[in-house]
Structure 1
Amino acid sequence: MTDVEMVVGRRANKRGLATRESMLDAAIRSLASGDPGAVSGNRIAKEIGATWGTVKYQFGDIDGLWAAVLRHTAERRGDLPANVPSTASLRERVTAIIDNMYDGLAGTDSRAIETLRAAMPRDRDEFERLYPLTAAEFASWRDAWLDTCRRAFAGLDVDPERLAEVAAFIPGAMRGIASEKQLGTYTDLDLARRGITNAIVALLGMS
């Protein structure tokens, strides 16, 4: 390959990556609207300003697109308890996780994910059969989240079984609080977050 061909190839690759990322961002914005119709392949293509054939060229099919959307949001999100020093107390670490997740659930990416989840089959076997790539991406999040929690509490004398229990219920509990915020509520959400934090600290701090 000549030097000219290498340069042209790199430019083409950069353009392809930029196009792909633009498509993913447009798909996320469309899903974040909360409109159930946003999960339509043709709707997404229209929002992106491309043909469905162009989208398929980049992602293969609708399953490939949704899996790529999930991967894209995961890469942007990173680890939730970021910037918590290793010297932080148990309460400080729990507070960081709860606060970061609460803030993150109000964002565009999280709203897009909720719209996508609502459109997927509830039966796990059917979900995995119809959307194997998307299902696999969601499944990988479970393991990654548990690993994140383990690293967040590394160095503390925390029972691993209790930590697994906490990792299992935090996402659902925080989505419930975030939903209350979006819908409007008479509940004191600061009090609710403090209550969850205290409960987790008490559970993980048990000898």
Structure 2
Amino acid sequence: MRYSAVALRQEAAHPSGPVIVASSAGCLAQIATGAQTLAIWRRSAPEGQSEWLDGLPASQLPEGQFVTAPGGATAPLQRLADGVALPPSPQRDWLIGDIAMLVDCFAQIARCAAVNVRLEAIDHDACWRFHRDYVGLRLNATYRGPGTQWLPPERADAALRGQRRYRGPLNELPRFSVGLFKGVVQAGNDAIVHRSPPVARHGLTRLFLCLDAETCDD
């Protein structure tokens, strides 16, 4: 599942409101020039990928942070996988290749010469507070466990005030789907309010990817 820069420009979604949801990668490029503040590329993984990831001990989930130029993510990702003794397999190859592809896509859309890559195994309530990101663009994807939770724009203020007391509508990025968020730098207070899903009480470990041209937090 690899997408060229040309394909990203050619594939287009038809947005309605501040959020674009599409089954093609084109929606990610569209958000950079449109008025929308969140693009969701709904997608699935190859057969067996979910089972492979779910079956790994948490200690074998690759994690780390590095900065790379477009086209340069594969080698550091392989080192992260080698560092946790993740055995060679088609599933490992797909994971590394998919992340490297997303790094290249993000660099093209954000027009940045270097991408900050964070791949993290999260077994705690990481950034549980509802918040907006103080960046230009940020890409999130979850390979294992629940995805980033985000709010309908009309519920943002209530969630920011209530935090843990908030009980209103809440959306969640599907597993393997890609979310490209406009942060406060580009969207101001129209930036989508979101948070990390609470996982500590459920005994889950997420495998979470964040791509940014700046410092990254979920």
Q: Point out the structure with the larger helix share.
A: 1
Pick the structure with greater CA Rg.
1
TM-score, length of structure 1 as denominator length: 0.27
